[in-house]
């Protein structure tokens, strides 16, 4: 191309640009939306800025066919009705005074601003969240081995041990199949054969392995997998013991697995988990940007916790002038910074010492502000919706949030809010199963008691009701020596067993 042709092309482009609409655009410094380039002092006014909003503005300019001149807002404010009489500062004030036709920035759309300027459809949706510094790792204490389970679960386990001990003790004494003749030379499973020669008037002593302390020892030893020198014999006690074994198997396995994680992985403890925790304490100070939409949110909210937070903030010097100041304050002090979630996400990606606390409060968006009744509002809104549909906005967000020097992009931005790997919700089912096993064991022992009482009642020609009452009286009194009637019954059973054994031995001979 000749020099004359090139000059003619430049003149045609200049004439074409002069025919395009031109906007004076105001903005504000806010990472990663609007930032100065490293060599900004060498560049002209339109080229010295970069960021998400600058890219979005350039894209809109190219696709919608307008030119612009961009400048930073003079008073470094977004826009607030200072005195409540319609006198606005910041970017809103510049638009109202005719110093700019458009404001492209992380500009929150709210009702009060929308009354005086027009907003496009939001190009980013967001809410309010808490930025906080990750505390330094705590030195392990002497009770670190208890950390895999919270205090509530430990208390429930102790209650389960005591409850299971009492339940096993009662069931073992109610069932007829856990009582044995007690002779000093014999074991519980081999009653003394001399019982058949005892005089009818002499008492026979019955023993039950499940005294209270023996039962507690059985429960603890089975939980700690230490074994025990006796075990359940009746169906009811075996049922209860089996349920306890299953309970302890899962609890011990979960505790062991999480103990390794707790002792090897550092989990810094953050004393607040959400906005309500922040409102109900005073050790950690908190605040927002002075005059920003987040401050207005708490100022106008009628929710009691938000009103409490607003009263706290307005009575103390906790407001900052920008997000950068808030981040700096959060890093250097015991301070929680309330800010928009999208900006918070960027800061967490850039600084691994920061984290987001809790979820997102409310729902709002960033929009482009124009003069009231501007014909460009709908055109820009439609183009923003088209960008969102095509994924252009998401790609630009990934570019500035993750690709541009994000030192923590590979790390998780969330920090464990609890010191414990398990909580009550995880193990509640085990306690329900244990309780169900206890109830089922009681039902079973009642059946055992009824069956045994019916057999004895037939043997002694007594009523079933009388025999049940006698068995219950004996079990509840926890006596070792039965009366004459019970003694005869036990001896008769032992004689029957011994006769059977003798006949077998004779047949073998």
Q: Please name the residues in contact with 251: beta carbons below 8 A apart, sequence gap of 6 or more.
A: 157, 223, 427, 430
Residue 148 is labelled as binding a ligand: no
Any long-range contacts for 137-140 (C-beta under 8 Å, 24+ apart)? 137/266, 137/268, 138/268, 138/269, 140/263
Compute the distance between CA of residue 68 and CA of residue 20 in angstroms, rounded to an integer.
10
In 3D space, the residue among 338, 322, 363 whose CA is nearest the CA of residue 129 turns out to be 338
What angle, rounded to 10 degrees, do the helices at 235-264 and 424-460 form?
Answer: 160
Residue 106 is labelled as binding a ligand: yes
In 3D space, the residue among 459, 488, 458, 454 whose CA is nearest the CA of residue 471 turns out to be 454
In 3D space, the residue among 182, 284, 177 whose CA is nearest the CA of residue 238 turns out to be 177
In 3D space, the residue among 448, 428, 447, 425 whose CA is nearest the CA of residue 436 turns out to be 428
Neighbours of 119 (CB within 10 A): 21
Residue 340 is labelled as binding a ligand: yes
Compute the distance between CA of residue 448 and CA of residue 472 in angstroms, rounded to an integer.
12
Residue 293 is labelled as binding a ligand: yes
Kindly state the helix (H) or strand (E) to which residue 274 belongs, with its residue range: none
The SS3 of residue 118 is: strand
Q: Please name the residues in contact with 347: beta carbons below 8 A apart, sequence gap of 6 or more.
A: 31, 131, 323, 327, 354
Compute the distance between CA of residue 327 and CA of residue 341 in angstroms, rounded to an integer.
13
Across-strand partners of 124? 366
Q: Please name the residues in contact with 311: beta carbons below 8 A apart, sequence gap of 6 or more.
A: none
Across 164-217, where does the E strand assignment appear?
179-181, 206-208
Kindly state the helix (H) or strand (E) to which residue 336 belongs, with its residue range: strand 335-340
Max CA pair span of the chain? 138
Compute the distance between CA of residue 150 and CA of residue 477 in angstroms, rounded to an integer.
40
Annotated binding site: 106, 108, 113, 293-294, 340
Annotated binding site for L-glutamate: 106, 108, 113, 293-294, 340
């Amino acid at each position: 191309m000749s020099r004359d042709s090139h000059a003619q092309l430049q003149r045609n482009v200049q004439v074409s640009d002069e025919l395009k609409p031109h906007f004076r655009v105001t903005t504000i410094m806010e990472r990663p939306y609007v930032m100065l380039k490293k060599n900004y002092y060498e560049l002209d006014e339109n080229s010295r800025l970069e960021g998400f909003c600058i890219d979005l503005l350039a894209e809109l300019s190219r696709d919608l066919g307008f030119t612009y001149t961009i400048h930073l807002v003079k008073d470094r404010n977004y826009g607030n009705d200072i005195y409540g009489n319609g006198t606005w500062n910041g970017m809103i004030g510049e638009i109202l005074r005719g110093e700019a036709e458009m404001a492209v920035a992380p500009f929150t759309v709210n009702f009060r601003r929308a009354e005086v300027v027009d907003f496009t459809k939001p190009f980013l949706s967001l809410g309010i969240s808490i930025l906080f510094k990750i505390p330094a790792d705590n030195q392990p204490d002497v009770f670190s081995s208890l950390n895999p389970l919270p205090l509530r679960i430990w208390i429930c386990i102790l209650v389960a041990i005591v409850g299971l001990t009492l339940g096993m003790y009662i069931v073992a004494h109610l069932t007829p199949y856990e009582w044995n003749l007690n002779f000093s030379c014999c074991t519980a499973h081999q009653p003394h054969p001399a019982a058949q020669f005892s005089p009818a008037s002499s008492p026979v002593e019955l023993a039950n392995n499940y005294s209270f302390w023996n039962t507690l020892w059985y429960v603890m030893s089975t939980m700690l997998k230490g074994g025990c020198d006796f075990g359940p014999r009746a169906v009811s006690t075996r049922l209860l013991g089996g349920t306890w074994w299953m309970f302890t198997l899962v609890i011990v396995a979960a505790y062991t697995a999480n103990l390794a994680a707790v002792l090897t992985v550092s989990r810094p403890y953050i004393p607040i988990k959400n906005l309500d925790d922040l409102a109900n304490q005073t050790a950690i100070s908190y605040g927002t940007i002075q005059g920003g939409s987040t401050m207005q949110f708490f100022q106008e909210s009628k929710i009691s916790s938000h009103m409490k937070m607003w009263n706290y903030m307005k009575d103390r010097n906790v407001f900052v002038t920008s997000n950068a100041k808030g981040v700096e304050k959060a890093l250097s002090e015991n301070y929680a910074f309330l800010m928009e979630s999208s900006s918070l996400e960027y800061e967490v990606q850039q600084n691994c010492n920061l984290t987001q606390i809790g979820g997102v409060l409310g729902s709002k968006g960033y929009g482009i502000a124009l003069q009231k009744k501007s014909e460009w509002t709908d055109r820009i809104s439609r183009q923003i919706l088209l960008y969102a549909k095509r994924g252009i906005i998401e790609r630009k967000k990934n570019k500035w949030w993750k690709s541009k020097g994000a030192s923590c992009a590979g790390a998780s931005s969330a920090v464990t809010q609890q010191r414990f790997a398990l909580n009550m919700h995880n193990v509640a089912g085990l306690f329900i199963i244990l309780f169900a096993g206890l109830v089922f064991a009681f039902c079973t022992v009642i059946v055992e008691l009824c069956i045994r009482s019916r057999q004895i009642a037939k043997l002694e020609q007594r009523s079933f009701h009388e025999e049940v009452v006698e068995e219950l009286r004996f079990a509840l009194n926890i006596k070792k020596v039965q009366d004459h009637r019970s003694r005869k019954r036990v001896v008769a059973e032992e004689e029957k067993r011994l006769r059977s054994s003798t006949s077998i031995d004779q047949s073998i001979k």
